[in-house]
Structure 1
Amino acid sequence: MARTRLLFACLALAAPLVPGTATAAPLAAPLLPASGLVLSVQPEMGKLSTTQLSCEPAGGRHKHAEQACDQLLPVEGDFRRLEATDAMCTMELNPTKATLRGKWRDKKVDFQQVYSNPCVLRAYTGKVFDF
């Protein structure tokens, strides 16, 4: 019994003398805050369509999430600042409201714009509202 106590006492005293083998984890690069958005398209003559889009990393239910995020990154999530494409659209009058709400890099966003028809909407917003 005395031997066991002596052994444990020696081990307890020697433990702090043994060098540790744990290594510190490398510092990780700071991650950009995620951007989570709800997008909707409401044509006057048609049904409401809604989807979810997350960026950084790209994902969500949006069928072109990666391309949509690539387009939104340079304009800081404001689809109204996207450049129009050279699409050929008819002169059909079907006012179509595009709405984007949620969070872009930790900042609340709430944008909406009305376009003359769905084709013009896609011409001005590319893949962002192509879902």
Structure 2
Amino acid sequence: MTHTSVKAVRAGLLAALVLLACAAPARATTGHLAPDSYLLLTVSQGETPATAQGGTLLRCDPPRGHRHAADACAELAAADGRITAIPAKDVFCPMLYAPVTAHARGTWRGQPVEYTETFPNSCMLAARTGSVFALDGP
């Protein structure tokens, strides 16, 4: 009759578990495989972009980062991340010249985004860019 020690049985079981763990197939991911989409947004008074550090980070996978993140991300998704392709809203803006410059930098689904545009006033900014640069207010 063969006698096996407890240590030998444990070592054998441990080796079998290690082999099984290495041979197990990798788990499928349950999330999306698209790269993260994020933009660092700034709005500055005048005709030049803000040079100071800061701004608002809009993240879209899932939407978060500023007050209207869900709306901004939906508008960007409909425009394939191109701010210039966001449909303009049909609004009446005052004929007041108080320029504001909007700047966005980041990535949209893995593609780099760099956007700067100066608008005659904040009403025109909101009409042309929707919720993306709606960083203040309700």
TM above 0.5: yes
Q: How many residues align?
A: 122
Query: 1:44–1:12: structure 2 CA closer, same or farther, 3 Å change rule?
Result: closer
Q: Give the alignment partner of residue 42 of structure 2, picking from 40, 43, 46.
A: 40
List structure 1 segments (4+ residues) > 6 angstroms apart after TM superposition.
none
Partner SS, residue 92 of structure 1: coil
Q: Distance in 1 between matches of 2:8 and 2:129?
A: 73
Q: Give the alignment partner of residue 119 of structure 2, picking from 100, 115, 131.
A: 115
> Taking every aligned residue pair, what percent have the same amino acid on both sides?
35
Deviation of residue 128 (structure 1)?
A: 0.8
1:8-62, CA deviations, whole angstroms, 9 ceiling, x for partnerless residues?
47x949x86xxx7x975653365211012101111229xx6831101121112x1
Q: Provide structure 1 residue ranges, at least 5 long, that are not aligned to the other structure.
A: none
Q: Distance in 1 between matches of 2:90 and 2:6?
A: 87
Q: What aligned pairs does 1:1-131 form with structure 2 within 5 A after superposition? A: 3-5=3-5, 8=8, 12=12, 24=25, 27-28=28-29, 30-44=32-46, 50-60=55-65, 62-131=66-135
Partner SS, residue 80 of structure 2: coil
Query: 1:7–1:55: structure 2 CA closer, same or farther, 3 Å change rule?
Result: closer
Asked whether the 8 Å contact 1:99–1:111 carries over to 2, the reply is yes
1:59-80, CA deviations, whole angstroms, 9 ceiling, x for partnerless residues?
12x1110100000012222211
Asked whether the 8 Å contact 1:80–1:113 carries over to 2, the reply is no
Kindly report the root-mean-square deviation, in angstroms, between the aligned alpha carbons of the 2 structures: 3.2
**Counterpart of 2:38 in structure 1: which amino acid?**
G
Partner SS, residue 63 of structure 1: coil
Q: Provide structure 2 residue ranges, at least 5 long, that are not aligned to the other structure.
A: none
Partner SS, residue 94 of structure 2: coil
